[in-house]
A and B are shown apart, each in its own frame.
Chain A
Amino acid sequence: MMSCRKSCNPEKQTESKRSTESACSRRSFLKTAVAGTGLLAGGCGSGMSGTAEKMHLNWQEYFKGNYRLMTPTEKEATVSRLERLAKIKYKLDVQISTREPVQQVLFGYAFNISRCEGYMDCVAACVKENNLDRKSQTQYVRIFELEHGRMDIASGNGKYFHEVPVADHFYMGVQCFHCESAPCIKACPTKATWREPDGIVVVDYDWCIGCRYCMAACPYWGRRFNWHDPDVPLGELTRKQHYLGNRLRRRGVMEKCTFCIQRTREGRLPACADACPTGSRVFGNLLDPDSEIRYVLKHKKVFRMKEELGTDPKFWYFSD
């Protein structure tokens, strides 16, 4: 049964024709509106009053502050603006949560390198859950195929496309490791990226200026940049979102794995761990002595990637 499974390529599954990009974008919409062709603009979905409202909302959005400095009222206001904008732009109802970290929770992740067989269901689930750009095939989670006898990720193949598992090979997943001493956080000139009390390293997409210094500072290639307007098929959009998580990003900002903050803060597993067919992915609360992650850390021989850099990742590898 295992042998008939192909490594799944998430970007192959574009069914819906409508996407965030092909839907009337703000720019093209404004252009049409400015040209004064009201009829054409009407054809784009919403009327002129929608344009005025959109401009007003965007104007207010432009002047909002960093998420961490917002009062609860301000958070509520920006969320309702963003939800309204999604409604105008894409005719979609999205829910953007600002759920705070749970007390006495510190998230940790462990990856079993002797179990993973490289199916990449985790990758596909992540792409879908986190509304990742399909055009550039953005992936937060990547799986590398390594030959037995080596542990150096650079010797692995992160672009394999063949039947898995391959004999004499093993598989290693990488993503943002949510370092306790994260070099990316130190690098950011505007404090647009930080570590939440539950250990999740997040980006305020609306505060990031897109200088990409964090990207240069990350030793694990954990960050992705929006080089163009992200393209997400609207039919596949995950509508349950978090302000610091899977809400739609804009062009010119940084994004990254958030341990699926929109799921994990509600007590669910991250999409990758949920989707894994082999049980290679263990996620849980490091502060809970009865959690599975604590069991792994206590009973298995674990290691972390590039431990010599002193970044203190919250992501361990282990084997059976």
Chain B
Amino acid sequence: MTKSDMKSAVNFVRDSVAWSLSGGLGYQLYLGILMLFMVLGLYAYSVQTSQGLAATGMSDIVSWGLYISNFTFLVGVAAAAVMLILPAYVFKDKDLHRVVIIGELMAVGALIMCLMFILVDLGGPERAWHLIPGIGLFNWPSSILAWDVIVLNGYLALNTLVPAYILFCHYNLRKPDERKYRPFVFLSIFWAFSIHLVTAFLYEGLPARPFWNNPLLGPRFLASAFAAGPALIMLALALISTFTSFKIEKTVFNKLRIIAVVAAIINLIMLFSEVFKEFYIPTHHSESALYLFFGLKGHASLVPWIWTAVSINLAATIILALNPGKNHPLVLFPAAALLFIGIWIEKGVGLIVPGFIPSPMGEVVDYSPTWVEICITLGVLALGTFVVTLLIRPALVIEERFALQEGSHHHG
């Protein structure tokens, strides 16, 4: 690295930090609120640290709860960036190419949240170094959790390095060298599928849990992620388009809508197939599904959640498919929000917890998160949103500067 490279790298970081923090009162207020939630999460985590995981609602029967549920859902959000990367880089879609950076940076935020959710779920976070190959002992390839550590960190690296390189070039007002980053883009496309499949295999690979031990789990993870992810990206783009000078074309939203609809329909078909298998001739293996949808032995805490999720999934898919408002923001964005929330509930509440109920010994208990768990979860979500915001803001400034210079080149 030459001295001038070094200097421009320092300038790049310095300006990015300055841009990420600059904004009007509304923006500062927004960052302040996020920080408030982060402090709340930190306080709750200090309570969890002093009491142990007993401060959560988890037990020896339901041994994973809100943290791992959110982790699983957010892996899908991270993977969904591929739904922009694929058309933007492979099919050279101009509209999506303009916003692909936003998808990539959202993936970075989602991955940071994933890793945080794993960390807060650990009984001995201070011993997490036991996982690091070389100084620890890494049970690879046997443990799927070991695989997950690799694919998540690898995807985080890919989604950090590619945008960082492109933004660095654009910051210096030069075109990035496609030969340099294209191989990594292709790698990240395969990697996106792998993060969500491997995460599904964590559950799918356990014969102890018949509810998860189902070959449809992996494909269904992908389908639901490719519906929820673009729905979230749509909402983020709408916010950016409203509150910043970075304007986004209507065609972008239409393309994202079509991607989300196709994925949502595939997801619903697979859900129907699962429900059919569980209830046509119910076996002992259907008891978790029975608990989830109808309740079991007098315990039914998840029943309202799953029916809400299924109903709003269905409603949102129909609205997005028929598109009655012709992409009108007042129809499109609420529908996208519904789809996102529906899948969040379905994945978050309806997948992890019922896998543990009934226990392998047939015991049924309910799980409900404590305030500590809820506050830590809010804190991690706020942290992720904070990171995404601080990454996207300078990225957009750099992109706009570059686009302006490109435009003046073409005219001049």
Contact = CB atoms under 8 A, between A and B. Distances in A.
Contacts, number: 142
22 contacts: A62-B126, A66-B130, A153-B361, A154-B284, A158-B363, A188-B139, A189-B138, A189-B149, A191-B139, A209-B123, A209-B128, A209-B130, A212-B121, A213-B145, A216-B64, A217-B206, A226-B52, A227-B53, A227-B58, A251-B123, A252-B53, A309-B207
A155 B364 CA distance: 11
A314 B155 CA distance: 41
| Interface size class of chain B, counting residues whose CB lies under 8 Å from the partner chain | 35 or more
Given A183-B208, A228-B52, A174 B58 contact: no
A318 interface: no
Interface residues of A, number: 49
Main secondary structure on chain A at its contact with chain B? loop
A144 B144 contact: no
B208 A218 contact: yes
B131 to A, nearest CB: 6
B290 to A, nearest CB: 12
Contacts of B122: 209-211, 252
B360 interface: yes
Interface string B78-102: 0000000000000000000000000
Given A156-B361, A207-B127, 14 more contacts: A69-B137, A154-B361, A189-B138, A190-B130, A191-B139, A209-B124, A209-B128, A215-B60, A217-B208, A220-B361, A223-B60, A225-B60, A227-B53, A227-B60
Contacts of A254: 123
B168 interface: no
Nearest to B53: A227
B319 to A, nearest CB: 37
Contacts of B123: 208-212, 225-226, 251-254
B408 interface: no
B124 A210 contact: yes
Chain A CB count within 10 A is highest, among B51, B59, B359, B360, for B360
Nearest to A309: B207
Interface in B327-367: 355-356, 358-363
A224 interface: yes
A190 B361 contact: no
Interface in A126-174: 136, 142, 144, 152-156, 158, 174
A229 B362 CA distance: 27
Interface in A272-287: none
A217 to B, nearest CB: 5
Interface in A216-270: 216-221, 223-229, 250-254
B63 interface: yes
Interface of B: 50-54, 56, 58-61, 63-64, 118, 121-128, 130-131, 136-139, 142-146, 149, 202-203, 206-209, 284, 287, 355-356, 358-363
B63 A212 contact: yes
A202 to B, nearest CB: 15
A187 interface: yes
Main secondary structure on chain B at its contact with chain A? loop
Contacts of B138: 189-191
A300 interface: no
Contacts of B64: 212, 216
A134 to B, nearest CB: 14
Contacts of A189: 131, 138-139, 143, 145-146, 149
Contacts of A66: 130, 137
A5 interface: no
Chain B CB count within 10 A is highest, among A152, A207, A216, A224, for A216
A301 interface: no
Given A189-B131, A253-B124, A213 B143 contact: yes
Chain A CB count within 10 A is highest, among B130, B138, B206, for B130
Contact of B358 (A144, A154, A207): A154
Chain B CB count within 10 A is highest, among A142, A192, A207, A213, for A213
